[in-house]
Amino acid sequence: MAETLGSMKRTHMSGTLRTNNIDEEVVLMGWVQKRRNLGGLLFVDLRDRSGIAQIIFDKDISEEAFLKADKLRGEYVIGVKGVVKTRESINKNMLTGDIEIFASELKIFSEAQTPPIYIEDEDEVSENLRLKYRYLDLRKPKMQKNLMFRHKMAKITRDFLDENGFVETETPMLGKPTPEGARDYLVPSRVNPGKFYALPQSPQLFKQLLMASGMDRYFQIVKCFRDEDLRADRQPEFTQIDIEMSFVDIEDVLSMNERLLKKIFKEMMNIDIQLPLQRMPYSEAMERYGSDKPDVRFGFELTGLNELVENCGFKVFSDTIKNGGDVRGINIKGHGDDYSRKKIGKLEDYVKTYGAKGLAWIKITNEGPTSPIAKFFSDEEMNKIIERFEAKEGDLILIVADRPNVVFDALGHLRVEIAKQLDLLNKNDYKLLWVTDFPLFEYDEEEKRYVAKHHPFTSPKEEDLHLLETEPHKVCAKAYDIVLNGVEIGGGSIRIHNSELQQKMFKALGLSEEEAWEKFGYLLEAFKYGTPPHGGIAYGLDRFVMLLTGNDSIREVIAFPKTQNASSPMTEDPSTVDKKQLEELHIELALEK
């Protein structure tokens, strides 16, 4: 009994009707949210993307429409013609709660079986069911808002970049495999037997080549791919806002991006952020927050104790320092009473997941300091420690002694975990921060060699160039990350634009000249024909939208995401393919027996 649109044309979206529409004849189209029979009248809540309007079917107005309406069930798709009237019993909880529509005509475009999930924001069903019936899940108002928010944010970003002379340029999806970095998704070539394309991990080299091309300012909102094991906030494909500019140094990139961020926060959140944004060198971020992406919405900053405890009677501390380690702690100001011994035990378990061997603590009670390690310290030593933390009655000091990296990692995560437990993280408080002056390299303990902290195309600071071959660990990079509430939402750098320097960089990373040319020869070649100084940034759009919409997973802001094992319960991909298709691609399966 499906009906056609015929001459019926929608005049309004349901959620937009207000008292100024009263007495207008309107045509609405959408889904039946619910239907009730009250006192011989049929009440239907009609839902579309914009919201819900209440329709009334009255036998006295149209018996035909009334009889049809009597058959309506949830999720039927209908069109309704009617007149807007003042609602008798005003509903303050609905934006359209002041009006109702008396229907004169009804068309049923599509019937519906009872859906396997409810079309309500608060419906609690398994992630798997939500993804299997994603087309139903996306009918939920909050999911539609997420997608519309994402659209608007991408639009605003494009408007800003266009106004500032950036040219959106598409770069290839089918590119060259790059064994450096994360794992590539590969695509076998049919016309080039035995050869493969790779899906891009980022358009990094193409955007640099566009700068060599004189395109001056480039951007692209673009899909990127990494074949990594998935975590809650990872997807096989993700979207980057990718930006690159010529004839710039760090300050130029930062100030352009601050203006972009200001615009996004104003238009999307109605929040005025103050410029310039806070900036913090990497070393300071580590010392104060134990993290290169600190959440600066709250304190609990790290405090060093080394010179206070290097000769103390507590072997755990003094031996750690002797062996090149650190002793640092945080003061959970005013929350000592929130942590019993048992709860502190759980915090100790928590820091152990980051490799720490233990968690020492000192609680300042009204009877003075209490601590299982108090017996190892003289009163004077204990007082100095307490003084160092500026600790007062009601405070709780938590201390980790270990290798420096472990101390940073454990305390960096611990302060955030405690802030969560104490509900100190205000989702509506947005703190943006540039982290700058990253080291150019970090030492990879597994591979026993230096690897690039950002990527091999990042420029060292001019003043550190002389250290590149002798003391690479001391070289500072022209790199920067933008951090929002403890989450890195973007990062970038000024790039190398000189063939010799780029080759030195590859050498420092352990690539032979031959390997460097085989993998990146076209970049080294391009640098020979006149390339401008350039730099840029890339934002993770999914994560950025997730934070601004107050969601906990990027799956909430992606229309059709994959599960943890990189599959789709709806379309059932990936899937098997015909042998003939594989033959055409010159490959065959090699499955373990």
Binding positions for ATP are 226-228, 235, 488, 540-543
Place of tokens 């002797």: 322
Q: Is 230 exposed, middle or buried (0-12, 13-18, 19+ CB in 10 A)?
A: middle
Q: Which residues pair with 47 in a beta bridge?
A: 31, 52
Which residue, 125 or 587, is less far from a second copy as judged by CB? Answer: 587
- Feature table: binding site: 180, 226-228, 235, 454, 488, 495, 540-543
Cβ proximity to a second copy: between 10 and 288 the closer is: 10
Q: DSSP letter string over 457-491?
A: TBPBPGGGGGGTTT-GGGPBBSEEEEEETTEEEEE
Backbone angles phi, psi at 214, to 5 degrees: 80, 15
CB of 119 to a second copy, least distance (A): 9
Nearer to a second copy, 76 or 389 (CB): 76
Q: In a 10 Å sphere around its CB, with 0-12 CB exposed, 13-18 middle and 19+ buried, how is residue 311 labelled?
A: exposed
* Distance set, CA 164 to CA 204, 216, 257, 295 (Å): 21, 11, 11, 31
| DSSP state for residue 568 in the 8-state scheme | B
In angstroms, what is the minimal distance from the CB of 222 to a second copy? 9
Least Å distance, CB 122 to a second copy, is 18
Instruction: Report the nearest approach of a second copy to the CB of residue 239 (Å).
Output: 6
Query: How do beta strands 479-484 and 487-494 pair?
Result: antiparallel
DSSP 41-108: EEEEEEEETTEEEEEEE-TTT-HHHHHHHTT--TT-EEEEEEEEEE-SS--TTSTTTTEEEEEEEEEE
Nearest to a second copy of 48, 242 (CB atom): 48
Closer to a second copy by Cβ: residue 33 or 320: 33
Q: Which two tokens stand for residue 110?
A: 């599509």
Q: Which residues are annotated as a binding site for L-aspartate?
A: 180, 226, 454, 495
Using DSSP's 3-state secondary structure scheme, residue 176 falls into: coil
CA distance 441 to 452: 5
CB of 65 to a second copy, least distance (A): 18
Which tokens hold the place of 593? 């027996």
Q: Which is nearer to a second copy, 10 or 297 (CB)?
A: 10
Asked if residues 36 and 17 have their Cβ atoms less than 8 Å apart, the reply is no
Instruction: State the minimum distance, in angstroms, from the CB of residue 505 to a second copy.
Output: 15
Distance in Å, CB of 205 to a second copy, minimum:
8
Min. distance of Cβ 522 from a second copy in angstroms?
Answer: 5
What minimum distance in Å lies between the beta carbon of 49 and a second copy?
5
As given in the structure block, the two tokens for residue 315 are: 């072997």
Q: How far is the CB of 589 from a second copy (least distance, A)?
A: 5
CB of 76 or CB of 506, closer to a second copy: 76
Query: Can you say whether the dihedral through the CA atoms of 67, 68, 69, 71 is positive or negative?
Result: positive
Minimum CB distance to a second copy smaller for 4 or for 323:
4
DSSP string across 285-351: HHHHHSSSS--TTS---EEE-HHHHTTSS-HHHHHHHHTT-EEEEEEETT-GGG--HHHHHHHHHHH
| 153, 236, 559, 581 from 568: Cα distances, Å | 26, 12, 12, 22
What is the SS3 assignment for 30?
A: strand
Query: Least Å distance between CB 2 and a second copy?
Result: 6
Estimate to the nearest angstrom the gap between the alpha carbon of 230 and the chain centroid: 14
Of 17, 29, 32, 14, whose CA–CA distance to 98 is shortest? 17
Comparing CB distances to a second copy, the nearer of 190 and 315 is: 190
Indicate the pairing of strand 217-225 with strand 167-168. parallel
Q: Which is nearer to a second copy, 21 or 208 (CB)?
A: 208
Tokens of 387: 């003084």
Nearer to a second copy, 14 or 62 (CB): 14
